[in-house]
Amino acid sequence: MVLTKVRPGESGYTLVETAVALALFITVLLPLTASIVSPFTDRRPEQMNAALCIAEKEMTHISVNRTFADGITEVADGFLVSRSVKRNNVGVDIEVTVSLRENADKPILVLCKSIVVY
């Protein structure tokens, strides 16, 4: 039974190959890992959906209850809702802005709606 037969020039992968392989692996692995993980850490879509729900609810509340006053309210999950109302004759322009408390200057969503009030 022949177990091995050493042949000239067949001494396994070389050091250069190993180094290249490792370099490639490390160079590519980090961004790849970041990309793979990002959907599970990116909260922007959820924030946008939540902001949309909050803004729609606020818009309905203002339209139905006729609460035409500017103001800022803090709601659940650290969201800030800011409303601005301008009246022009029978027209009422409502602007609702939703942002995060820790980043109040950068709105996640702005909704505008005009209604008629006699």
Partner 1 sequence: MVDEGVHNSRMDPVASTRGFALPSILLLITILALIALSSIALQYFRRQTSSVAAAKVKAEYAAQSGIAKMISSVSAQEVSISGLQGWNKIYSFIDGSGTRVSAEPWGVFLLVTSEGRFQHVMYRRTAITAARPTGDLAKALVFANADHQLVFAGNSFIKGDIVVGSPGITTGTLSGVTTTGNAAVEGSVLRKPSPAVSPYDSTLLFSELHYYKNLLSGCRDMDENNSHAIVYSPGSTFSSGLGKIPDSVNMVVVQGDLVVTDSSVRRGAPLSVVVLGRVFIRDRASVAGPLSIISSKNIVISDAAAVDQAILFSLDSVQVGENISFSAQIISPVICVQRGSVGRYPSVLLSYGAEDESRPQRVVLNGNARIEGAVMLLQNGNKMNQEDIVQLDAAALVVGVLYSQGTTTLDGRVVGTVITTDFFFYQTPTKYNGWLRTGSIDRKLLPQDFLMPVGFSSNPQLDVLEWF
Nearer to partner 1, 78 or 91 (CB): 91
Nearer to partner 1, 36 or 69 (CB): 36
Greatest pairwise CA separation for the chain in angstroms = 102
Nearer to partner 1, 75 or 113 (CB): 113
Alpha-carbon gap, residue 71 to 59, rounded angstroms: 13
Closest contact distance (angstroms) between CB of 74 and partner 1 is 21
Report the DSSP beta bridge partners of residue 116. 91
Enumerate binding residues for partner 1 (CB under 8 A): 1-2, 5, 7, 10-14, 17-18, 20-22, 24-25, 28-29, 31-33, 35-39, 42, 44-46, 48-49, 52, 55-56, 59, 88-91, 95, 109-116, 118
Helix (H, G, I), strand (E, B) or coil at 49: helix
Q: What tokens appear for 19 in the block?
A: 């180094």
Nearer to partner 1, 72 or 117 (CB): 117
Environment class of 95 (CB within 10 Å of its CB; exposed 0-12, middle 13-18, buried 19+): middle
Closest contact distance (angstroms) between CB of 95 and partner 1 is 6
